[in-house]
Amino acid sequence: MVYLRSWFEYVNEFPSSVALRESLYGYPALLTAHVVTMCLFAGLIVMMDLRLVGVAYTDTPVSQVQKRLFPWQMLGMALSSITGILLFYGQPMRFYFKVFFWVKMVLMGLAGVNAMAFHYSTYRSVAAWDSDVKGPFGARMAGALSIVLWTGVIVFGRLVAYDYMTLSD
């Protein structure tokens, strides 16, 4: 953690980081763009998860939902990552002390692992259950877990804005 901290402190002193931190509209613009891009990313992820669970878009084959939404989910992920990284870049030392920021990062990692695990296990046999209203247990579980994890990411992401669980130096 000492190395991590010195790296955060290093970034914190970059002139462009200071400029972003001190600009009047930079931060509000980035926060707003982060919410809008979240709508694209998390919105379409949740819609796909609801199909996996078997409660929405049940007339559409799972593979259709997955393949046709994927490029838009990736666009949403790229845009929310860019705005998120810039938000971090402008105030690294503020986030360093926020417990909820680290919780959000861990939950994002777990959501990624869940998606990959599903893709390389249960999803391989999708042809056998593509049009079923409710897929196999693995698919319903992956969908439900994804909803829980991304909900956690949004909850803790929003909580970072408040002063709860901020460690002192």
Partner 1 sequence: MLLPFFQWLQDLAISGVLRNSPWLGPGINILHLLALTVFAGALLMVDLRLLGAGLTRQPLAPLARAAQPWLIGGFIALTLTGIPQLLSTGTKQYYSDFFWGKMEILTVALIFTFTLRRWVTQADEKRVGPVWRKAVGLVSITLWTTVTVGARLIGLLS
* CA of residue 107 relative to chain centroid, distance: 8
d(CA 146, CA 152): 10
Report the residue number, 19 or 31, with the smaller CB distance to partner 1: 31
113 Cβ contact partners less than 8 Å away, ≥ 6 residues apart: none
Collapsing DSSP to helix, strand or coil, 166 comes out as strand
Minimum Å distance from CB 122 to partner 1?
21
> Residues binding partner 1: what is the number (CB under 8 A)?
32
| AA letter at 22 | E
**Of positions 13, 14, 23, 31, contacts partner 1 by CB under 8 A:** 31
The yes or no reply on residue 142 touching partner 1 (CB under 8 A) is no
The yes or no reply on residue 62 touching partner 1 (CB under 8 A) is no
Would you state the structure tokens that stand for residue 39, as one six-digit string? 């709508």
Residues at the interface with partner 1 (CB under 8 A): 28, 31-32, 35-36, 38-40, 42-47, 50, 56-60, 64-65, 68-69, 72, 151, 154-155, 158-159, 162, 164
